[in-house]
Amino acid sequence: MLILIFVSIIFILSILLSKQIHKFNYYIYALAFVISMIATGEKANIISLGYVALSYFIVVMYTGVFDKGKTKKKLMTVRAENAILGTIFLIPHAYGFLEFYLDDGRFFTSLVPVIGLIALLIAIPLFITSFRFIRKRFTYKEWKTLHKLAYAFYITVYLHLVFIDNSRLLIYTIIFGLFFILKGFEKLKNHMKTQKKLKKKMIY
Ligand code: HEM
């Protein structure tokens, strides 16, 4: 339930304040970083438990399946910002659990931290190339190809949650399942559209 509240708040802020978030993004990153550092030291909290990071990534995921229109446009304006913020809020979570499992020498005794680490490693190039001054160094095609990794990230995060296997698994399965179904439909729609165009070309 907490995740759905966070996701709704991030969606609403992204739509209502897209211009401001985009304009003041580096200040927001700095603030998020400070909050993350504070959350790292503290006892378990909504950030170090991974909920805030996951909520940002869910908004980034669903931004991609929104139908064209004003809402999608606003969400696309801050998609990079939401992805960057999600990764910044991941620091206390990854650091906390890595420290816990490595200290104990139990890192490889559970797939949860291992898959978590794989997800984090996939997120790093996506994070770096989400900054505009880095993105500019890539052609659109290169950047788009690299960002196909995002699907590997989403699948790895879902697997991470599957292996945690707690009472929230059903809601995670609905969120990730619906996303991949909508993405599948979108791909199918685009494929049929291209087929139709090709057919028309062949006729004329
Ligand atoms: C080095 C990387 C990571 C490590 C070592 C790690 C470790 C863990 C561990 C051990 C738990 C289970 C805690 C428990 O038993 O309740 C957990 C929970 C969680 N992890 Fe990760 N994780 C990592 C990366 C990620 C990433 C990339 C995400 C994506 C956003 C993520 C999202 C979550 C969430 C949302 C939970 C809480 C699930 C719930 O209780 O409903 N983690 N993580």
pTM higher than 0.85 for the full model? Answer: yes
Q: Model confidence at 42, in pLDDT bands (50, 70, 90)?
A: low
Q: DSSP character for 67?
A: P
Predicted confidence (pLDDT) at residue 13 exceeds the cutoff of 90: yes
Query: Tokens 């992204």 sit at which residue?
Result: 14
Q: Give yes or no for a contact between 183 and 64, defined as CB atoms under 8 angstroms apart.
A: yes
Element (H, E) at 57: helix 51-63
Give residue 73's pLDDT: 92
Ligand 1 pocket residue status of 179, Cβ below 6 Å: no
Q: Model confidence at 195, in pLDDT bands (50, 70, 90)?
A: confident
Give residue 199's pLDDT: 84
pLDDT mean across residues, the chain: 93
CB atoms within 10 A of CB 65: 16
CB atoms within 10 A of CB 50: 22
Give residue 121's pLDDT: 98
The CA 8 to ligand 1 mean position distance, Å, reads 21
C-alpha closest to that of 83 among 65, 103, 63:
63
Pocket test residue of 43, 127, 160 for ligand 1, highest count of atoms within 8 A of CB: 160
Predicted confidence (pLDDT) at residue 101 exceeds the cutoff of 90: no
CA separation for the pair 107, 104 (Å, rounded): 8
Query: Tokens 């900054």 sit at which residue?
Result: 131
Query: Tokens 């949650």 sit at which residue?
Result: 161
Predicted confidence (pLDDT) at residue 41 exceeds the cutoff of 90: no
Ligand 1 pocket residue status of 56, Cβ below 6 Å: no
The CA 18 to ligand 1 mean position distance, Å, reads 28
Predicted confidence (pLDDT) at residue 204 exceeds the cutoff of 80: no
Q: Where are the domains of the chain?
A: 2-203
